[in-house]
Structure 1
Amino acid sequence: MPTNTTTGPAAPTPGEAYADAPEPHVETAAMLNLVRADHGTPQVHDREWVLRHAALLDRAALPAAAPARAGSGAVAGPGGGSNPAAVGAAMQLRQMDRHGGTGRGALGPDAPEWDGEEGAIGYLRQEYLVWRSGQLSDLAAVGAAMRAMAEVTDDNVRSGQAAGRGEPWPRGQLLDLARRRVAAYVRAVDFGVDAVADQRRAEAELRQLEAGGGSARA
């Protein structure tokens, strides 16, 4: 049986796996958005949520001395060992991929390199790196998300200028803008853009408009 290691050639280091990971608060918001999109359905059967949740737990357990490239978003943990919760989530991901054939990395979930707790963490890091690289490599989707965010920002400025001239946009038009703003910020957060505060403001405005309270600009 091979010796399990999360830093051997089979698994990326934390710095490699999480080099392009969003900041923890941004990733947490993205995961909450996933839950909302599924109308509160339990996420234990959603592979993307399990993967991102396990990676977030793993990052939180990394010691301050863990090798990581600048901008990795890795969180220094007080312990320095694997977080039991992260190990459990990583094992859940591996089991999910073994049953569903959903693994995407070079070594499949049945590989002996992934046996044991350290092996499960290594598998998690492999799968997160593959998933995140694939997400960011979809340049068309990334570009569309950034354009949508810029467009709703411009439209929000125009609506404010119109209100300042005493020519406020009709409520229906403001509702459409508020919905587009929420959707644009949700998508941007999913790609790791720190638009969490913008999303919350847009959601608050949308709630007020839907309740018939008019514009609720921050």
Structure 2
Amino acid sequence: MRLLLIEDDAALREGLARQLQADGWRVDQAGDGEDGLFQAREYPVDLLIVDLGLPRLGGLQLVQKLRADGRRTPILVLTARGNWQDKVQGLEAGADDYLVKPFEYPELAARVRALLRRSMQAASNVLTLGPLAIDVAAQTARLEGQPLDLTAFEYRLLEYLVQHRERVVTKLELSDYLYPHDQDRESNVLEVLIGRLRRKLDPAGDRQPIETLRGRGYRFKWA
């Protein structure tokens, strides 16, 4: 799962990012609202943590803009304000939950897990395509009832392709989802992952579930 943490307090932001990463999440960071909005629009994100008191673009305005875009990504807002009006404003802007500073990290982590569970349940816990079943909550896949032995990257690649099977997914989009956007990436790494995933899904070579559209990207077409 990929989180975007938008917080202008650098010490707090970096400390939270380290703790979230230690718990197994991938974390991108932004120090102001405009950069946070750009990243949320340009890169695949599973959940946003947004401080309301951001420079350049306030947290409330950021949330409103994302919701106006039609994005349903779960949003947890952080606020130093404790009165109920500010909490209501955050929720009415489109946030899914709020946390008042100061807070303990375990509470933040619990809120994040709850929002991700709710989001996955809303999208259906199990995706079924013919003999292929993907349990999104457990992050496992089965083919004809047998578990697929997938690495973490292979699973995330499969889940993303299946969830977006109605369209062509570009190499850049997949790379942005699989790797932090600020790291160097080689395109052949993605091609190797695609090749390994194809062999595991289609060892006989007769199903060809991942279609390559030259110059455009990939499409999962298994019905």
Tell me the TM-score normalized by structure 1.
0.29
Q: Which has the higher contact order (CA 8 A, sep 6+)?
A: 1
**Higher share of residues assigned strand:** 2
